Structure 1
Amino acid sequence: MLSVRGVKVKKRKRALIIFRLTVNGLRPDGMKRNADTKWSFSADRTFYEAVINYNLYSARKVTCNTLKNKIFNFRFLLVFMACIIVILPSLWILFVCLEKENPSVKVETQSKSVAIGSTKNLSISASDQKRGLRKILIAIVKDGKESVLLEKEYPSGNILGGGKVTRDDINLPIDTKKLGIADGKAVLKMTAYDYSWQGWWNGNITTVEKDIVIDTKKPEVSVLSGIQNLNQGGSGIVIYSLSEPCENNGVYAGGNFFPGYNGLFNDKNIYTSFFALDYDKGPGTEIFIEAADDAGNSTKRGFSVHIKAQKFKKDSINISDTFLNSKMPEFDAEITQDSKTSPVDKFLKVNRDLRSENYKKITELVKNTDKTLLWDGVFVSFPNSKKMAGFADHRDYNYQNKYIDSQVHLGVDLASVANAPVPAANRGKVIFTGDLGIYGKTVLMDHGFGLFSVYSHLNSFDVKEGDIIEKSAVVGRSGSTGLAAGDHLHFSVLVNNIFVNPLEWWDASWIANNITGKIQAVKSGSN
């Protein structure tokens, strides 16, 4: 069975096959026109003849339909390409050029209010990670008057690419006197623009207003403690009051800074600074108090200090091959070397480079101190011991009768019996226990207000970090770890990050006259 336009026909059977022709002017042979505009084959035509004639006279119709399809497909392709050309850039402009994310601008400060003195630098950051920064405007508004501090424009890459700068960290100097701004409350106004096409190409805009205080009055410093007798390489104390809270205050001695702390007295405006004179600084060293308020106003104030020069011992130490061969392998993991590095070269790396690294480590450890005075009275020494080396001894090192190096001994060496118990010099908090290069096994204690003690070359520990240790409690056992030739204790005292002579802190009379006596004198007059 075959089917022609849905009509099933048997092979070679005569049948009347009717076709509706859609192409005008075509009349196949053997067909006649009916009244209903249909063409029909005569009854004597076979099915095959009908099919052949239909295909023959339908050829033009098929050809025309194919051409029309090609024209339709081409037009569709043109429309599709036009849509791609128009729609994709439009979407890019919509989502990129017309982005609505506002730029960011802020002043770098932790407080809700910013104080500005006669002169001050403000740290301000502005950013826009999408279209980039176009402009930033910073001004102070006081009593209805706007004083522009900064107006800065940023370059654009191109009309479509946005700006070249996405972040700017600004250090903005402010001179209120030059600007003619009087003391009092004001507003810091910061406005940032980006390269978005929002707002008719004006961009997204962020405005931040922060309350500020214009304060050009300097803090006043009043010294409360008396004259200070200060030894070269020694410690001192000064007590003073401030007219206003100043987070940054303390003593400068020979370029070294020693912070002041309140809390030792009932009056919170009274500060105490333990300070020191480095072993290489003598009479004539500049020493003064400096206090700076939040607005940046700073006051310097000198005070009475009598500096006594000191002469330090010069010592010569001979380095033997026996010492090098037994001690240097301990430092193989701590120094850079190769197979050609001799024992004496290893020693120089340890004595110079590793010593410097260890000192930096100690200065990092003592950056933070307890704001409470933990110690009380005289510091205790290593009992039943003999002094083997003194503070600030200037040592020359010789090998095979030739000079090879020089270093300064920043502590006191005390020798007793082997593995002797080592007492805490005073009450304090353990802030470090561990191996520390040339110092070997070391305990570091914080006694508060920037005063620290160090116990080195230990054989073992009896304390751990975080422990509060009472005076004379055992911190460890003496030994010969680190760059030590025999069993002994290397004891050091630091004020802030400066090594000082421990002998002063072992002297009850010195402490009474130079430290505790001054504290009691101020307390009796301030309470």
Structure 2
Amino acid sequence: MASLKKTFFFIIFLSLICGGAIAGWLLFKDQQGPIVAIDKENARVNKSSVATLSLHDVTSELKNLSIAVRKNSKTIPLYSTAFEPGKKSITLSIPLASANISDGSFEMIITATDTSLAAFGKGNTTRKVVIMRMDNTPPSITIKSLPPNIWQGGTGVIAYTVSEPVEASGVKVKEMFFPGYKQADGSYISFFAFPQNIDKKDFNPTAFAMDIAGNIYNQPFSINALARRFRHDKINLSDHFLNSKMPAFTKDTPQAKTNLERFLIVNQKIRAANRAKLLEIGRQTSSSILWKSKFLRFPNSATRAGFGDRRSYMYDGKVIDEQTHLGLDLASRKRSPIPAANKGTVVFCGNLGIYGNVVIIDHGLGLQTLYAHMTEIKTTVGSVVNQGDIIGSSGSTGMSGGDHLHFGVIVSGIPVTPIEWFDPRWIQYNITDKLNFD
């Protein structure tokens, strides 16, 4: 009987020791607080900025969070919350507007606690102090060049300086943005367009800059805008044209039941997609001017269609669609060799919907030339070409009804009239003289 009692008490004693060990292990196994990450660490911000905060706990759940800002020994509560059970990871957006912090350096103090049994049930706490700089002063732009003369459908240029480092700067025209490119002397140059579909009274370009903190400068600048009239043309669509050209677009238009339906889809939706692609390609540009002197016109060619021609597409005597022609159609002999209009870097080769086989050459600062409907491409992306180098031969690929070159000039993805760039006097008076501002 005595031995049984000793055994019983030994078991109880052992259980207490084991239980205490287990409790201690549970209490102290999790010694790490939540992992805290914030995207604005050491960043320049403004009162409209929103910080993105991420919390994650490896073992336990998140319990609570508090955020305060401290500047000049003054601490201001900014945000606090208790988390619902079950959350181990969370991402929060923290607006800085309510902090009401003046310009200058300040600290953001982040305190996050988990539900661990550590610290006698109070949980593990992470305290992270992040330094930021409040900056609510927008940058300023000083335009150094003379006011540009710019025709509707044409190109203008400004040279300018900014008062501080910026994330982006350039010229805005409605929703369109024409980036400025920093030069070796610290100034910026921006080529911009007077789009052919904007009336003179509605053309109000602004000089734009956004600094690192997100503050924005967006102010009009002096220009001499000139209106231009564009030709109207009728394009009669024959069944022969539809039946010969539209089957090539069958894969792109599976919903079309007839070639006429297919034409309308291509002429509207695919045309719009192709122009969107030009905007994308327009950002693939050098920050330096690559071209020299006037641009070379396709030799021994006659103009079949002009830039900005308003086209009414006719079928069976009725207008079925209306579009604008945004290049020059230049016809010579079939399969004529096509020279590069000026020095630059090839940034696109391949099929581009309505344009067929295309080469696009970058001449720097967003200025590019487009060569469309080619029957053969004789260059490659990345090639540096000089003026006159043969890049392919003319043809009738895409939506072309006959062998010719569709030649386009593009400024940051927006088509402009090529005629200006063939004229050395226009280039001198409107580009090079404008940039010689010293």
- If the length of structure 2 is used for normalisation, what is the TM-score? 0.89
Structure 1 pair 169/506, CA: closer, same or farther in 2 (3 Å)?
farther
| 1:497 shift after superposition | 2.1
Asked if structure 2 preserves the Cα contact closer than 8 Å seen for 1:128 and 1:167, the reply is no
Residue type at the aligned position of 1:404: I
Specify which of 188, 206, 228 is matched with residue 108 of structure 2: 188
> For 1:411-464, what per-residue CA distance to the aligned partner results, in whole angstroms no more than 9, with x for missing partners?
111111111111111111111111111111001111111111111100111110
Residue 154 in 1 paired to residue 83 in 2? yes
Structure 1 pair 509/349, CA: closer, same or farther in 2 (3 Å)?
same
Structure 1 pair 450/123, CA: closer, same or farther in 2 (3 Å)?
farther
Match of 1:143 in 2: 72
Match of 1:376 in 2: 292
Structure 1 pair 401/100, CA: closer, same or farther in 2 (3 Å)?
farther
Match of 1:509 in 2: 425
Match of 1:168 in 2: 91
Specify which of 389, 397, 403 is matched with residue 481 of structure 1: 397
Match of 2:196 in 1: 279
Structure 1 pair 151/403, CA: closer, same or farther in 2 (3 Å)?
same
Asked if structure 2 preserves the Cα contact closer than 8 Å seen for 1:371 and 1:448, the reply is yes
- Which whole-Å CA distance do the structure 2 matches of 1:484 and 1:496 have between them? 25
Structure 1 pair 398/120, CA: closer, same or farther in 2 (3 Å)?
same
Give the alignment of 1:356-395 within 5 angstroms: 356-395=272-311
SS of the aligned residue for 2:330 comes to strand
Asked if structure 1 preserves the Cα contact closer than 8 Å seen for 2:47 and 2:96, the reply is no
Give the alignment of 1:408-447 within 5 angstroms: 408-447=324-363
- Which whole-Å CA distance do the structure 2 matches of 1:445 and 1:123 have between them? 40
Match of 1:320 in 2: 238
Residue 228 in 1 paired to residue 159 in 2? no
| 1:383 shift after superposition | 0.9
> For 1:340-371, what per-residue CA distance to the aligned partner results, in whole angstroms no more than 9, with x for missing partners?
x1121121122122212222222222233221
| 1:130 shift after superposition | 5.2
- Which whole-Å CA distance do the structure 2 matches of 1:411 and 1:274 have between them? 18
Residue 398 in 1 paired to residue 314 in 2? yes
- Which whole-Å CA distance do the structure 1 matches of 2:59 and 2:35 have between them? 11
Larger of the two Rg values belongs to structure: 1
Give the alignment of 1:33-72 within 5 angstroms: none
SS of the aligned residue for 1:486 comes to coil
Specify which of 222, 247, 250 is matched with residue 332 of structure 1: 250
| 1:173 shift after superposition | 3.5
Structure 1 pair 129/327, CA: closer, same or farther in 2 (3 Å)?
farther
Structure 1 pair 324/220, CA: closer, same or farther in 2 (3 Å)?
closer
> For 1:390-416, what per-residue CA distance to the aligned partner results, in whole angstroms no more than 9, with x for missing partners?
112111111122221111111111111
Match of 1:302 in 2: 220
SS of the aligned residue for 2:314 comes to strand
Match of 2:269 in 1: 353
Match of 1:134 in 2: 63
Aligned residues: 423
SS of the aligned residue for 1:458 comes to coil
- Which whole-Å CA distance do the structure 2 matches of 1:510 and 1:281 have between them? 22
Asked if structure 2 preserves the Cα contact closer than 8 Å seen for 1:282 and 1:308, the reply is no
Residue type at the aligned position of 2:191: F
116-125 or 303-312, larger mean C-alpha shift:
116-125
- Unpaired runs of 5+ residues, structure 1, are 1-78, 157-161
| 1:113 shift after superposition | 2.4
> For 1:44-96, what per-residue CA distance to the aligned partner results, in whole angstroms no more than 9, with x for missing partners?
xxxxxxxxxxxxxxxxxxxxxxxxxxxxxxxxxxx9xxx9xx99xx79x949x
Specify which of 24, 27, 37 is matched with residue 106 of structure 1: 37
Aligned-residue CA RMSD in angstroms? Answer: 2.7
Match of 1:56 in 2: none
Specify which of 277, 290, 299 is matched with residue 208 of structure 2: 290
> For 1:444-494, what per-residue CA distance to the aligned partner results, in whole angstroms no more than 9, with x for missing partners?
111111111111100111110111111121111100011111000111111
Structure 1 pair 441/189, CA: closer, same or farther in 2 (3 Å)?
same
- Which whole-Å CA distance do the structure 1 matches of 2:154 and 2:262 have between them? 34
- Which whole-Å CA distance do the structure 1 matches of 2:52 and 2:91 have between them? 11
Asked if structure 2 preserves the Cα contact closer than 8 Å seen for 1:289 and 1:301, the reply is yes
> For 1:310-346, what per-residue CA distance to the aligned partner results, in whole angstroms no more than 9, with x for missing partners?
22111111111111111111112222236xx112112
Residue type at the aligned position of 2:190: S
Match of 1:252 in 2: 172
Structure 1 pair 405/211, CA: closer, same or farther in 2 (3 Å)?
same
- Which whole-Å CA distance do the structure 2 matches of 1:466 and 1:400 have between them? 46
- If the length of structure 1 is used for normalisation, what is the TM-score? 0.74
SS of the aligned residue for 1:345 comes to helix
Asked if structure 1 preserves the Cα contact closer than 8 Å seen for 2:298 and 2:330, the reply is yes
Q: Which has the higher contact order (CA 8 A, sep 6+)?
A: 2
